[in-house]
Structure 1
């Protein structure tokens, strides 16, 4: 796919009254912003014609940035030394590109490094917190590559912004408005109450310069270039049968396992089996947990920022693959349930106490890892409305993550068919992937 870049510019916020804020303001990042991944996350949207001209999409972006000011700012250390976002209207990167061929024959149907050409490069430490690329194809189709810095917004907050961008492009008012109070919302309790071992979950001491456990079991840096990404389609019928199988051993008093619990359990078992791990090797899954509805009182759905911690179901590989899928689903269910209001409040109390800085702790959300084996990391978009981006010609017919070959990463993306089917993007070593493909559609 030959992508020709036609222009690259900075789009600044456009305020309805024509008047920008009088002066730049520093807004401290919240404890949840600071503990998450400090990198850009790229999403690609594909739209069939007709589509509005680039000038209208650009104007909509400028209007949306005036409402979501953090996206147009810059991250740095504020006057008080705290990590903050400066609301200075620096703007977002806006790239226009074209492909002199139809989208159907240009864009790979599955994961490929080529899809990275559909969004601005995010591996060179881009300055702008939002980077956008509009790529036009000869058939009239449009690809929109959006890259946003994770410390500004989690998945739900990003989806809210994308919906606002679509509304503004269609010359509709942005509604509902975002709740932008990250600097003051998460105050610690008096007195603080740290009830859980956050030093071993969200934080860790800096790693010594020695061989780590993954290298000791044979999955070191030498194999990083052998990682491949596979897109597995899970049909509506397959998902229904999987949920039924996972829930078959539950008593009548228990609700059945959810789609998410059942699918993660199945893929965890299949990937572990495909890796051929020793029976006594511990394997765990990193699962994002949205705190908006878990914290008490519940947070506004339109809060703009990060409110995510992680659950870590874990077990021995032999136990995982030898027992039914319902056992794995129960491990996922219990681990996620434990990340409740008490857990979120405990994290806030520790993260606000000064202990992190005093002990030099670092986040376990490490984007530099290339190999997670024997573990997994799940990024689920099943409850996030990324399909709500609409510039006037309807929603996207395809939504996908960029090509992300971190071994052990797993993206779950709902199908645009809207029928309950989904795609799973699975990154594994090439030799493990062959075995995974052989067994991934077997339900036992």
Structure 2
């Protein structure tokens, strides 16, 4: 696949025909912005607090083309080949980059279906049963020692958990995490509902009181050495643990860029073993597509365990 950059330009907002607001200003970072390391043009105000600087410098918009059809250019599984469809990250000063890559149309439904379908689709009706099954399958394929403890880091949206509720379209960060854990021997020995209950109970505890206690805690001046990070984005393996990012409630298929709704939405290439993404299936039947990076040496065992009955 050969990709050609056609153009690159900075797109800026307009205010009544002007490219800059009369007073750009800034937005203070919330405690949730700070804990999730939210990206932005960051600065400090007069008293040293971190802020997002609203300087209207715009974002980079790149147009490109590929010498082939879409079914030739795009893998419907996360693949390093997808990185060719990303803007270059070297020497980037812009906050956001967007690349639009044009390709010829082709018959995609059959290709996408064949690449995404397994031997069969397991009929799990709840988030907890699905995650519990994948947790057990990955742990078994890793051949983790029975005496070890394994946990799943699950992001929890606070919009509907805080009282009063925060509007669903609130754009800022409002996420904390649940950490269901178990001894490996118990996770593999007990039936699936055991793991599902661990997940359900851990997520249920991240409630209104939990969010408000976090806000109270984060507003105190705590020495940096007293804090322990819960995620390291530089890792290429999370073993013996997992992380689940659920994108099930994002309305991807409601987006329309002028040519109708999206055909398929999926994660790009993110080679971190044990980092799972859950998305609404492009098939549109209400099912879930799970993207699960595992090491090649563990793949055969994972498939065998994942597609077996509990």
Q: Do they fold alike, i.e. is TM over 0.5?
A: yes
1:438 to partner: Cα distance = 2.0
1:121 to partner: Cα distance = 3.5
1:281 to partner: Cα distance = 0.8
1:355 to partner: Cα distance = 0.9
TM-aligned CA distance change 1:296 to 1:233, over 3 Å: farther
Matched, 1:90 2:30: no
Matched, 1:285 2:149: no
SS, match of residue 436 in structure 1: helix
CA contact (8 A) 1:233 1:422 kept: no
Report the equivalent of 1:361. Answer: 227
SS, match of residue 237 in structure 2: coil
1:90 to partner: Cα distance = 0.9
User: Structure 1, unaligned stretches of length 5 or more?
Assistant: 40-72, 142-230, 244-258
Report the equivalent of 1:128. Answer: 94
CA contact (8 A) 2:12 2:19 kept: no
Report the equivalent of 2:279. Answer: 413
Report the equivalent of 2:121. Answer: 238
TM-aligned CA distance change 1:125 to 1:82, over 3 Å: farther
SS, match of residue 201 in structure 2: helix
User: Structure 2, unaligned stretches of length 5 or more?
Assistant: 108-114
Q: How does 1:272-311 map to 2 (within 5 A)?
A: 272-311=139-178
TM-aligned CA distance change 1:331 to 1:233, over 3 Å: farther
Match of 1:427 among 254, 274, 293: 293
SS, match of residue 398 in structure 1: coil
> What do the CA deviations read for 1:381-425 (whole angstroms, capped 9, x no partner)?
111112222012211111011100011101111112220222211
Distance, in Å, in 2 between the alignment partners of 1:121 and 1:80 is 36
SS, match of residue 287 in structure 1: strand
Distance, in Å, in 2 between the alignment partners of 1:412 and 1:232 is 13
TM-aligned CA distance change 1:329 to 1:234, over 3 Å: farther
Matched, 1:268 2:135: yes
Distance, in Å, in 2 between the alignment partners of 1:296 and 1:330 is 25
Report the equivalent of 1:56. Answer: none
Match of 2:253 among 360, 367, 387: 387
Report the equivalent of 1:103. Answer: 70
Distance, in Å, in 2 between the alignment partners of 1:289 and 1:360 is 24
Report the equivalent of 2:241. Answer: 375
> What do the CA deviations read for 1:325-355 (whole angstroms, capped 9, x no partner)?
1111101100000000110001111111111
SS, match of residue 400 in structure 1: coil
> What do the CA deviations read for 1:283-309 (whole angstroms, capped 9, x no partner)?
000000000010110011121210000
Length-normalised TM-score, structure 2: 0.90
TM-aligned CA distance change 1:317 to 1:37, over 3 Å: farther
CA contact (8 A) 1:27 1:86 kept: yes
Q: How does 1:23-422 map to 2 (within 5 A)?
A: 23-38=23-38, 74-122=41-89, 124=90, 126-139=92-105, 233=117, 238-240=121-123, 242-243=124-125, 259-357=126-224, 359=225, 361=227, 363-422=229-288
Report the equivalent of 1:219. Answer: none
TM-aligned CA distance change 1:32 to 1:314, over 3 Å: same
The count of residues paired between Structure 1 and Structure 2 equals 303
Length-normalised TM-score, structure 1: 0.64
TM-aligned CA distance change 1:19 to 1:89, over 3 Å: closer
SS, match of residue 289 in structure 1: strand
SS, match of residue 13 in structure 2: coil
1:25 to partner: Cα distance = 1.1
TM-aligned CA distance change 1:293 to 1:17, over 3 Å: farther
TM-aligned CA distance change 1:13 to 1:364, over 3 Å: same
1:116 to partner: Cα distance = 1.3
Distance, in Å, in 1 between the alignment partners of 2:91 and 2:133 is 36
1:16 to partner: Cα distance = 4.9
